[in-house]
Amino acid sequence: MQFDLPLQTLYAASLLGGAAFALSGFLTGVRKGLDLMGIFILSFLTANGGGVIRDILVGRPVALVHEAEPFLITSGVVLLALTLKLHKLPQLEQRLGFVVSDAVGLAAFGLSGALVGLEVQAQFFGVLALSLLTAAGGGILRDLLVNEVPELLHGGFYGSVALLQGAAIFGLHAAQSLNTATLLAAFCAALALRLIAYRGKWRLPKPAKPAE
């Protein structure tokens, strides 16, 4: 089975999502007092770290080494953000445009991770893990580099979307129903779920900490 067509269809989504991730890295970098190179690196890692982790885990050459595009997109985002002084805007990360773009990235990257998992014939949990790490790996690296506990681990209904999407894609594939239409449906469902969860401030429960 070839995934070329849906992947091309979803290509624009991954570009928009990558730009949102890059912007999130930019804003974190400015907030943490990094210099221009540090900000660029953080921005780039946030946008592309998930894909690098995915490629390393499945043992194929890291796509990034051979593709100029991600570097150009990150550079564009950073230059634009600096020019427009986006870091001066209060609460940019809560604005609708950012939230939607970020959710588009989550859905597009998670989908790409799940498809790579199917390509290497990963088992069910492997597909879920690849979906999660491709979507959220960049954010994990961003938080690790600036010494914060990754938001993914405590912050809301975000990674869960990637896990559910991975499960759906695995199921569709097992039922031999994976095609352009169902892939796009999985993408839209993940996007909608993330936006609903964001709106409703969904959170996963946390067990009570023990008394020390």
Q: Is 59 in the site for a second copy (CB under 8 A)?
A: yes
- Name which of 32 and 179 has its Cβ closer to a second copy: 32
- Name which of 9 and 129 has its Cβ closer to a second copy: 129
* CA–CA separation, 12 and 185 (whole Å): 16
Angle 155-158-163 from CA coordinates, rounded to 5°: 130
Residue 59, by phi and psi: left (phi above 0), alpha (psi -120 to 50) or beta? left
Residues 101-120 touching a second copy, rule: CB under 8 A, are: 117, 120
Burial call 178-210: b when 16+ CB within 10 Å, e when fewer: beeebbeebbeebbebbbebbeeeeeeeeeeee
Task: Sketch the per residue contact string, 25 through 44, with a second copy: x for CB under 8 A, - otherwise.
Answer: ----xxxxxxxxxxx-xx--
Q: Are 110 and 50 in contact (CB under 8 A)?
A: no
- Residue 117 beta carbon to a second copy: minimum distance, rounded to whole angstroms: 7
Of the candidate spans 8-16, 99-107, 123-131, 189-197, the one that interacts with a second copy by CB under 8 A turns out to be: 123-131
Of the candidate spans 102-110, 164-172, 179-187, 198-206, the one that interacts with a second copy by CB under 8 A turns out to be: 198-206
- Residue 9 beta carbon to a second copy: minimum distance, rounded to whole angstroms: 25
